[in-house]
Structure 1
Amino acid sequence: MIRTESGLYRGFQQNNAKNLELELRIDVNGNRPLMIISGDIFSKTIPKKYLWSFLFTKVKRKVTNNRIELTSKQGKFSSNSNKFSEIIVNIHTKRDQIEAEVNLKRARGTDLQFICIRKSESFRKIIIENDYEEDVKKFPVNKEIEIIAPNNKKIKFSIQRALFDAGIELALGEAGSNAVPIKFAISPEHMHYYWTESELHNAMIHHFSKWEDKPQWIVWMFSASRYEDPSYMGIMFHGLRGNHRQACAVFHKSIAEKKLQLYISVHELGHCFNLQHPWEKTGTSCSSSLSWMNYPWNYVKSKRLTPSKKWFWNAFRFQFDKSELSHIRHGFRNEVIFGGSEFVGGIASKILKNPSQKSSFISKNKSGLQLRLDIPRDKKEFIFGEPIVVELKLFTESNRKIEVHSLKSNSNLMNRCLHPKYEFVQIAICNCEQANQIKNYRPLFKPFLSLNKTKIDKCSPIYESAYIGFGQDGFYFKNSGKYSLCASYRALDGSIIISNILEIEIPEPKEDNKKIAKLLLDDEQGELLYLKGSDSRYLSKGNDAIDKLITQHSTHPFNVYTKFIKGYNLGREFKFFRKDNLIGIRKPKITEAEDLLSSVEELSTKKGEGIDNISLYETMIHHAKIEINAAKIEINAKHKEKAYKLRDRMINIFRNEKKLNNNVMNSIENQIEKILDQEN
């Protein structure tokens, strides 16, 4: 008698042309059964080609003699041209193997019939390459650590065990688990290193031995020391040119507890499977989900109570919730596989589709907050091909203090939680010239954050600017014409704050300008704009195009952006992989960075030209850090003197030329003084 028939089956079509292959997943008993049968259909070719998927729920199970019959009429299909009214699966033992006869029945037309053999008790198998820095204590995916479970019970758990419990077999890739031996290649003054998005992107392509620009069941996990922003504890990031969710990193020196290191590792792998945070699905601020995908400090027992990580750990059973389990085991292949499609949705896109819905959200907004979406001050229009930057302002007209999200790294002036790279803000973009096609702006990286809170009132709004020209979908403004934009912010009380609808027009370019625009409109240049520059040899064509724009079209308005990303990148060190597989450091190129950033600052003081005020503030802060770091490394007083002159110029620009209000100026002055104090 068959003890359990759940698991993965593979087989081939038996009727008609016999040119199809089926990967079948039966989930009716065993660990947390969901009573689902799902499958993926492939062409029987070399190499085989994925065609479509199906999923049947509410499966009925009937046992007769040595045969088990499974049936369901509740089907969902990834292809509209391949729909079936019922699935019937007969399972029996034959020659010491479990065999399934599968019949996909149509209401009209020819049924599909397969014979499949059970291959595994798991539903899917993935391969992971787990690299780690040599300075980071080894934390491989199959290493069990002792943790305290609910009721103070001690258990041993690992990343591999967490996925196995979800029905996923996890195997180490041929490359195994490799050290990234940074410390042997770093000189003493660089021992306090961290990673940037640009370097992580480069590291993935270099160190991920099985990386390909296509969907596959292989993922890269990097156990790193720390990120440049101390608020980051983990991050999931995407491959190039539209292949999503292929890699993640965990920053172990930003996480004190082993239990939390394990938790964040599984959480980031969950994102690679295309799982969302539970509050993103419900549109609320916190969640009662006891899942790997929640934030422990974001857990609430009920709506009446405040979030508590203590309550979370007391009740968490180290598992995904039921809907997440269903997705990982049975989601349509392209929605689960690494490098596949990405979940799309959001409130802002709904408002652009139907602006009348905005009044409903306004009436439900009990937070007292308002959100403003704008283009930079004095900007009349964007040139075709110009990087699109928008400004966000979160404010209230109330005298009372209102709590809002904040990162540990925030200054008083800018609140990074307003940037759409985090989960609190969404920006939807409608191309009015192309049948009102609507896309959500989707960043290349998705971080796990350690959050703070801050308070604002009518005298202390918070601001952020965001480059939204390039993301997971490539360029969002690649065509001339009219665009409509709308943003939403999820407040701490669960209210959804809807911005105004912003109209942007990009005029049709002249032929000469179209040729220049092409120097910025390839994917590599888009990635460089997103990353604020990179030394990666994998983006060399993009860097060549940017250099050509700077040298051959030196007076073109685009060069304020190219000089910004080039100067920003040259002003910081960059980790690169040497031929001996150690990591070398390209030290900051101080003089080149000074020249480029000074040019950006000068261009941006002219009315209606240059970068926006917030980006200019960021540029000058970064410039000041370059000078202070150079003063430390070179022990040279000239850099300290330059930093103090930069402070005076910065205050003059924003107070006298930009005429910012006193509250904002106080924040700017406080922040620049903090930078200068680091030298002492």
Structure 2
Amino acid sequence: MTITAPASTVRTLRSGVYTHRATAEELRIDVDGPHPTVSGTTPGRLTWIAPVTWDDTRQGWAGRIEYRDGGTGAAAHVLVTPAGEVTFSGCGTRPTTRRFVFTRSAFRTVGIEFDTVEGATAVTDFSLRSHPNRPAGLPDRTLTIEDVFTAQGIAMKRTGGGDVIPVSGAGDDSTWSDIELHDAMTAHWSRWADTPQWQVWTLFAGRHDEGPALGGIMFDGIGAAQRQGCAVFGDSFIAEPPPGDPNAAAAVRRMRFWTAVHEIGHCFNLAHSWQKPLGRSWIPLRVDPEARSFMNYPYAVDGGAEAFFSDFDYRFSDEELLFLRHAPEHLVQMGAAPWFDRHGFEQARRASARTLELGLRVRRAEPAFAALEPVVVEVSLTNTSPLPQTVDRNVLAGEGLTVLIEGDGREPRQWVPFARYCHRPDPVVLQPGESLSTSVFPWAGRNGFDLAEPGRYSLYAALATPSGDVLSAPLRLEIRPPADRQTDRLAGDVLTEGVGRVLAFGGSRGGSASLDRANDVLSEVAARMPASRIGVHAAAALGRVAARPGRVLTADRRFRVVEADPTAAQALLTTAYANPERAAETLGRNRL
């Protein structure tokens, strides 16, 4: 018979991390909350998790191992006794029992540093009873950011920080771009390293380039090690108290405090409460737009911020705690898995409404790309309902579109384009069966080249719309190995940020060493390999620029007019479009 464990029994088995001294195997026991769970990591880095209940007959916490990550092999069942004896059984093996020793109460240990831009305000704590709109039982204490995480089993300790960063780091406009934030992190964070580590950096700044509508951001999506840095923008909407608020100063401080914890939560790879299906799931995660969690927006729940904070206990949801405490380390640790990894595309696609359908395609019968051929993918949004649907004409070109790239046997990566576009709302009505479409260039972006290595890949897309997220079916494609030594030798010159940027934007007149070098490489490719797919892209980009006059911003911040070169343009465009069918296949309909 299975019953809930008596309180006295629960107290004899402390929640926390246990280890097996001989094998260094780690066990995470979590039995004093609403969802008793045991998870473990073997020396071979296999991570497993088992929901458990108290078994009165065997006097222990028992459950079936439901999820695994990495490695091979694992038992099917686990039994943990209050004495720390753990028995594994099932999967055709004889039961084995090992004794684990309590090591620590914290499931993870994380270091944090806070820095502040000159003139900005840092808010790293909040007095819980300073505002009258609160739960009646909220304790009378001042809560720090470190306290929030430590109280929930994630020991957080300050490792340094406190620097005042010159606002000049944001450039002449004094507002911060993601690149400027990243540069500030590498320059001022004492623990900066381009490698996975249990460390996070938080910057309190004035305003982002996007303006007062952006209160905070987890900006670190560049390079191999991501999710290490976030920023809070005090000169934004979070500094505006609700009209008629009885304690405006406390309301503003509360919102700044909430924003900081929210963005740090993203650094742990936590998605918003309504975005759990995005990415690729480790375990099924429930969408909860009404959650009273740091990962929800207070103003997005029914009743708005007033309803949210009247019932907010300054914590994460139970499922988010499950992820923080028990998910495989590489999914949670800063700098390891990319942002939004393992948050469940397929699960959400099956459950999503069918009024709009998001599609991915390439313009060729066989989805295979030659070595060094830039990958262009067409994205479409189709009204699959029997009624007209209103959408934004530019919905596929903005921040709402997310593309994930997963190579077989590789960790998935989020494609981060070189630029995002902010358009004025332009509603358009899609009649039943009608579509919007655009082309995206996932071959290159701020993460580098995620579609350059030979192999097979799956691409997924998600689109945020006012009526909910729309998920695509996966697009399978192949990148073929180099067909000759010349292509192989060119890889080092072609796979550079400069070439990626020039091709992503359809051409460049140069003006910097990187872009000038990229144009030289593309000129060589167009001349030496005119019949190749990369040759088509190179000739098209160079030809478009040569066909019309333009301006170049010089190093002394002056514009230099560059005249058109009709002769060169004709030769290049003839090379690019000599075979219209080939050009359409490789350039894509929207980039012809």
Q: Would you call these one fold, judging by a TM-score over 0.5?
A: yes
Q: Alpha-carbon deviation of 1:440?
A: 6.4
1:298 is matched with 300
TM-superposition CA deviations, 1:361-408 (whole Å, max 9, x none): 7xx423xx56565779xxxx9875355455646576999985557xxx
TM-superposition CA deviations, 1:468-513 (whole Å, max 9, x none): 2246986332157998866453432337375897989989666445
TM-superposition CA deviations, 1:540-579 (whole Å, max 9, x none): xxx9776543345546454987999xxx9x96xxxxxxxx
Normalised TM-score (structure 1): 0.59
Aligned counterparts of 2:193 and 2:410: Cα–Cα separation in 1: 29
2:24 is matched with 21
> Does residue 429 of structure 2 align to residue 443 of structure 1?
no
Question: For residues 10 and 598 of structure 1, do their structure 2 counterparts lie closer, same or farther at Cα, with a shift above 3 Å needed?
Answer: farther
The structure 2 residue matched to 1:180, chosen from 129, 152, 165, is: 165
2:498 touches 2:518 (CA, 8 Å); kept in 1? no
2:404 touches 2:459 (CA, 8 Å); kept in 1? yes
2:154 is matched with 168
Question: For residues 52 and 481 of structure 1, do their structure 2 counterparts lie closer, same or farther at Cα, with a shift above 3 Å needed?
Answer: closer
Aligned counterparts of 1:82 and 1:491: Cα–Cα separation in 2: 41
> Does residue 188 of structure 2 align to residue 207 of structure 1?
yes
Q: Alpha-carbon deviation of 1:466?
A: 3.8
Equivalent residue of 1:519, what SS?
helix
2:63 is matched with 73
Aligned counterparts of 1:333 and 1:69: Cα–Cα separation in 2: 30
Equivalent residue of 2:264, what SS?
helix
Please give the residue correspondences for 1:535-546 in structure 2 after superposition, counting only pairs within 5 Å. none
Please give the residue correspondences for 1:82-161 in structure 2 after superposition, counting only pairs within 5 Å. 82-83=74-75, 85-91=77-83, 101-107=84-90, 108-109=93-94, 111=96, 113-120=98-105, 122-140=106-124, 142=125, 144=127, 146-151=130-135, 156-161=142-147
TM-superposition CA deviations, 1:241-267 (whole Å, max 9, x none): 533422222222223233222222222
Aligned counterparts of 1:225 and 1:519: Cα–Cα separation in 2: 40
Question: For residues 128 and 500 of structure 1, do their structure 2 counterparts lie closer, same or farther at Cα, with a shift above 3 Å needed?
Answer: closer
2:273 touches 2:287 (CA, 8 Å); kept in 1? no
Please give the residue correspondences for 1:224-373 in structure 2 after superposition, counting only pairs within 5 Å. 224-230=205-211, 231-238=213-220, 241-254=223-236, 255-256=238-239, 257-282=252-277, 287-300=289-302, 308-342=304-338, 343-344=341-342, 347=345, 364-366=353-355, 369=356
The percentage of counterpart residues that share the same residue type is: 22
1:52 is matched with 46
Equivalent residue of 1:274, what SS?
coil
Aligned counterparts of 2:85 and 2:123: Cα–Cα separation in 1: 42
Equivalent residue of 1:328, what SS?
helix
Q: Alpha-carbon deviation of 1:280?
A: 2.6
1:348 touches 1:427 (CA, 8 Å); kept in 2? no
2:468 is matched with 494
Q: Alpha-carbon deviation of 1:172?
A: 0.5
1:426 touches 1:441 (CA, 8 Å); kept in 2? no
Aligned counterparts of 1:597 and 1:285: Cα–Cα separation in 2: 55
Aligned counterparts of 1:153 and 1:530: Cα–Cα separation in 2: 58
1:676 is matched with none
Equivalent residue of 1:71, what SS?
strand
Q: Which amino acid aligns with 2:110?
A: I
Q: Which amino acid aligns with 1:177?
A: G
Q: Alpha-carbon deviation of 1:210?
A: 1.9
2:581 is matched with none
Q: Which amino acid aligns with 1:443?
A: W
The structure 2 residue matched to 1:550, chosen from 519, 522, 529, is: 519
Equivalent residue of 1:365, what SS?
coil
Equivalent residue of 1:232, what SS?
coil
Aligned counterparts of 1:296 and 1:608: Cα–Cα separation in 2: 56
Equivalent residue of 1:249, what SS?
strand
Aligned counterparts of 1:147 and 1:598: Cα–Cα separation in 2: 64
Aligned counterparts of 1:530 and 1:295: Cα–Cα separation in 2: 38
The structure 2 residue matched to 1:385, chosen from 366, 369, 372, is: 372
Q: Alpha-carbon deviation of 1:467?
A: 3.4
Aligned counterparts of 2:272 and 2:332: Cα–Cα separation in 1: 15
Q: Alpha-carbon deviation of 1:27?
A: 2.3
Aligned counterparts of 1:499 and 1:596: Cα–Cα separation in 2: 45
Aligned counterparts of 1:294 and 1:60: Cα–Cα separation in 2: 33
Question: For residues 429 and 312 of structure 1, do their structure 2 counterparts lie closer, same or farther at Cα, with a shift above 3 Å needed?
Answer: same
2:493 is matched with 519
Q: Which amino acid aligns with 1:251?
A: F
Question: For residues 505 and 60 of structure 1, do their structure 2 counterparts lie closer, same or farther at Cα, with a shift above 3 Å needed?
Answer: closer
Question: For residues 501 and 328 of structure 1, do their structure 2 counterparts lie closer, same or farther at Cα, with a shift above 3 Å needed?
Answer: closer
Q: Alpha-carbon deviation of 1:323?
A: 0.9
RMSD of aligned Cα (Å):
5.3
Question: For residues 519 and 83 of structure 1, do their structure 2 counterparts lie closer, same or farther at Cα, with a shift above 3 Å needed?
Answer: farther
Question: For residues 425 and 505 of structure 1, do their structure 2 counterparts lie closer, same or farther at Cα, with a shift above 3 Å needed?
Answer: same
Q: Which amino acid aligns with 2:122?
A: K
Equivalent residue of 1:311, what SS?
helix
Equivalent residue of 2:155, what SS?
strand
Aligned counterparts of 2:221 and 2:254: Cα–Cα separation in 1: 29
Equivalent residue of 2:259, what SS?
helix
Aligned counterparts of 1:274 and 1:336: Cα–Cα separation in 2: 6
Aligned counterparts of 2:155 and 2:387: Cα–Cα separation in 1: 53
Equivalent residue of 1:267, what SS?
helix
Aligned counterparts of 2:569 and 2:288: Cα–Cα separation in 1: 44
TM-superposition CA deviations, 1:612-662 (whole Å, max 9, x none): xxxxxxxxxxxxxxxxxxxxxxxxxxxxxxxxxxxxxxxxxxxxxx9x9xx
Equivalent residue of 1:166, what SS?
coil
1:128 touches 1:220 (CA, 8 Å); kept in 2? yes
1:285 touches 1:492 (CA, 8 Å); kept in 2? no
Normalised TM-score (structure 2): 0.67
Q: Alpha-carbon deviation of 1:128?
A: 0.8
Aligned counterparts of 1:149 and 1:498: Cα–Cα separation in 2: 41
Q: Which amino acid aligns with 1:457?
A: V
Aligned counterparts of 1:22 and 1:504: Cα–Cα separation in 2: 38
Aligned counterparts of 2:411 and 2:347: Cα–Cα separation in 1: 7
Q: Alpha-carbon deviation of 1:201?
A: 2.6
Q: Alpha-carbon deviation of 1:276?
A: 1.9
Q: Alpha-carbon deviation of 1:451?
A: 13
Aligned counterparts of 1:130 and 1:211: Cα–Cα separation in 2: 13
Q: Which runs of 5+ in 2 are unaligned?
A: 1-7, 240-251, 279-285, 506-511, 527-536, 545-549, 578-589
Q: Alpha-carbon deviation of 1:171?
A: 0.3
1:8 is matched with 16
Question: For residues 164 and 468 of structure 1, do their structure 2 counterparts lie closer, same or farther at Cα, with a shift above 3 Å needed?
Answer: same
Question: For residues 589 and 595 of structure 1, do their structure 2 counterparts lie closer, same or farther at Cα, with a shift above 3 Å needed?
Answer: farther
Equivalent residue of 2:61, what SS?
strand
Aligned counterparts of 1:209 and 1:312: Cα–Cα separation in 2: 36
Aligned counterparts of 2:454 and 2:36: Cα–Cα separation in 1: 50
2:337 touches 2:411 (CA, 8 Å); kept in 1? no
